């Protein structure tokens, strides 16, 4: 129930005031959500199609934040781990300035994180509660982003199909080999059903499975696995309403999944071989990096400075896992802040998952925070994960858009 339904005796003059304010507020929220969907996906897509730079799209985020800015809104305690992480990084930068200077990689990494994370923080600072028009606007823009992804895949298909012959460096010069799979996974979230209806859940799962196949084609193997797990979760994970029909439809989904893995995936070349490595437990060659990062943390639990992993591992530069990277370079203080962030993300994602109208926001949040666990350093996707953390975790759900089951909104 919303607040109007809960307070029928509040006075007849209260309803017209709310109804009068609602249309312009809904429009602003819809536009803001649409812009947020654009800035999450398009920086990794449009530069591959048009002569623009990714940073040219960031001002759209500032517009989105301004549309929902609420002066005087109290600061959520959820932002404290984020501010703590920024403080730890600033401390290590200060120590480096007083002692051994940072190398070029470490300095660029620190500057990039502070700029991207700081801009995202200011963009989403003091926002109004999340509303259904905001989520609806984001869903529409993600649908458009999915269409842009399909166009890009079609235009660049020869690069993906002949990846080994073209060469990794040449492909990276034409498109973002890490960011594009993330954009495709985020755009696919628009396909998630906003109800418990079994047929809608099945259609969503089947569509996600199709996008997962495209992820394998564009070397988004990790994102493909995430989407497959999401497709299965839509049919089997709680809340368990209409469980009998969901189980029956899942058998069909399982058949489609088996067909895709046996008949389609082997035709996708090198990306399929990576899936086979994961099946054998090899983690795509990342296990040595994970071990090196963990052992370095145990040897120096208070950190070795920003960019320190690159000193001992100059080729990969970072361990391809943000938690291990932070542990190695920023020590126990930075690791505690990152773990706190992830715990808050998991808690919020579960709340949103249990309420189908809000589920898409929870999945978008989860996908963005899963990506740094396998690709990029702490600054690579800093704008995306800080922005979504501020918008989805540090902002309450509007009383006019209650979570299913009356779950807490904070």
Tens of pLDDT, residue by residue over 165-218, are: 666 667 676 777 788 999 999 999 999 999 989 999 999 999 999 999 889 888
pLDDT for the residue numbered 159: 77
Among residues 221, 233, 223, the alpha carbon closest in space to that of 193 is found at: 233
Mean confidence (pLDDT) of the chain: 85
Are 184 and 276 contained in the same domain? no
Of 285 and 115, more confident: 115
Are 44 and 187 contained in the same domain? yes
> What is the DSSP secondary-structure string of 312-381?
H-TTT-S-S-HHHHHHHHHHHHHHHHHHHHHHHHHHHHHHHHTSGGGHHHHHHHHHHHHGGGTSS-TTTT
pLDDT for the residue numbered 409: 43
Are 132 and 67 contained in the same domain? yes
pLDDT at 140 over 80: yes
Are 43 and 170 contained in the same domain? yes
236 Cβ neighbours under 8 A, 6+ residues apart: 246, 247, 250
Alpha-carbon span 408 to 410, nearest angstrom: 6
Are 181 and 205 contained in the same domain? no
Are 30 and 136 contained in the same domain? yes
Mean pLDDT value across residues 352-361: 95
Instruction: Provide the token pair at 90.
Output: 């600033």
Are 169 and 197 contained in the same domain? no
pLDDT category at 407 given cuts 50, 70, 90 is low
pLDDT at 265 over 90: no
Are 247 and 276 contained in the same domain? yes
Q: Say if 49 falls within a structural domain.
A: yes
180 Cβ neighbours under 8 A, 6+ residues apart: 44, 45, 48, 149, 152, 218, 220
- For the chain, the domain total comes to 2
Q: Say if 57 falls within a structural domain.
A: yes
Alpha-carbon span 262 to 285, nearest angstrom: 24
pLDDT for the residue numbered 1: 36
Are 204 and 279 contained in the same domain? yes
Are 262 and 199 contained in the same domain? yes
For residues 382 and 116, the answer to whether their CB atoms sit within 8 Å is: yes
Place of tokens 């209409």: 242
Mean pLDDT value across residues 350-363: 95
Q: Which domain holds residue 44?
A: 22-72+128-191
Q: Say if 113 falls within a structural domain.
A: no
pLDDT at 47 over 50: yes
Are 60 and 185 contained in the same domain? yes
- Choose the final residue of a domain: 285, 312, 338: 285
Q: Say if 9 falls within a structural domain.
A: no
Alpha-carbon span 103 to 126, nearest angstrom: 36
For residues 30 and 38, the answer to whether their CB atoms sit within 8 Å is: no
- Choose the final residue of a domain: 251, 285, 319: 285
Q: Say if 61 falls within a structural domain.
A: yes
Are 197 and 222 contained in the same domain? yes
Q: Say if 116 falls within a structural domain.
A: no
């Amino acid at each position: 129930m919303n607040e109007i339904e809960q307070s029928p005796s509040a006075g007849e003059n209260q309803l017209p005031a709310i109804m009068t304010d609602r249309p312009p507020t809904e429009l602003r929220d819809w536009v803001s959500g649409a812009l947020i969907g654009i800035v999450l996906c398009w920086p990794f897509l449009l530069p591959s199609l048009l002569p623009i730079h990714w940073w040219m799209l960031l001002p759209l985020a500032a517009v989105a934040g301004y549309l929902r800015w609420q002066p005087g809104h109290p600061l959520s305690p959820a932002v404290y781990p984020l501010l703590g992480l920024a403080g730890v990084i600033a401390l290590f930068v200060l120590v480096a300035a007083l002692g051994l200077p940072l190398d070029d990689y470490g300095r660029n990494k620190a500057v990039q994180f502070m700029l991207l994370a700081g801009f995202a923080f200011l963009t989403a600072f003091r926002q109004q509660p999340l509303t259904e028009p905001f989520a609806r606007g984001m869903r529409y823009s993600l649908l458009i982003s999915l269409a842009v992804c399909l166009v890009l895949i079609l235009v660049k298909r020869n690069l993906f199909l002949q990846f080994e012959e073209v060469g990794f460096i040449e492909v990276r010069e034409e498109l973002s080999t890490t960011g594009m799979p993330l954009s495709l996974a985020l755009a696919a979230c628009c396909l998630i059903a906003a109800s418990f209806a079994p047929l809608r859940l099945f259609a969503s799962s089947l569509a996600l499975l199709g996008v997962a196949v495209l992820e394998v084609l564009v070397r988004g193997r990790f994102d493909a696995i995430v989407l497959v797990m999401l497709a299965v979760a839509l049919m089997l994970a709680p809340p368990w309403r209409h469980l009998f029909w969901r189980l029956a439809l899942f058998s069909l989904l399982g058949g489609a999944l088996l067909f895709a893995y046996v008949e389609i995936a082997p035709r996708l070349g090198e990306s399929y071989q990576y899936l086979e490595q994961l099946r054998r437990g090899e983690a795509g060659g990342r296990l040595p990096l994970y071990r090196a990062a963990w052992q370095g943390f145990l040897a120096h639990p208070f950190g070795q400075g920003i960019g320190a992993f690159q000193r001992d591992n100059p080729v990969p530069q970072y361990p391809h896992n943000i938690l291990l990277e932070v542990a190695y370079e920023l020590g126990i203080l930075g690791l505690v802040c990152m773990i706190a962030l992830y715990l808050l993300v998991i808690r919020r994602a579960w709340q949103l998952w249990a309420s189908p109208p809000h589920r898409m926001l929870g999945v978008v949040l989860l996908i963005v925070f899963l990506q740094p666990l396998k690709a990029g350093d702490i600054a690579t996707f800093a704008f995306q994960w800080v922005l979504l953390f501020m918008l989805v975790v540090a902002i309450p759900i509007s009383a006019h858009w209650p979570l299913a089951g009356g779950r807490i909104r904070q």
